Amino acid sequence: MKNFVVKTIANAGALAVAVWLLDKITLTGDSTGKEVGTLIVVALLFGLVNFLVKPVVQVLTFPLFVLTLGLITLVVNALMLLLTSWLADKLDLSFHVEGFWTAVIGGLIISIVSWALNMVLPDED
């Protein structure tokens, strides 16, 4: 349970950094509390997408992983971020990623920041 909470906090922090750095990734709310709540829900949604969809996509695109020496991972991460944005829109959350290239850069930022946060935060179960 603790590991789940730590990963969610790391995802929320990484998403917050991407929102802060990129103008085309937006998170809006009436107040700071509402924005933090939306960020946590989006982090949960992003974690769910990465847990359920990403492994299937990686298996289906395995030949491209081999062919591109893993660089297709950037595209897969971008697609997972765009899927999260689409689901957030369907759930009426105020999170939006505008465009594929923004999603590629955002996915790269999120990967680096969440890796760093997972290294710092405790992860025992």
Beta-sheet strands, E only, within the chain: 25-27, 95-97
pTM score of the predicted model: 0.89
Written as tens digits, the pLDDT of the chain (125 aa) is 678 888 888 899 999 999 999 999 999 878 888 899 999 999 999 999 999 999 999 899 999 999 999 899 999 999 999 999 999 999 999 999 999 999 999 999 999 998 898 888 776 65
Helix (H, G, I), strand (E, B) or coil at 122: coil
- Decide if 22 contacts 109 (C-beta within 8 A): yes
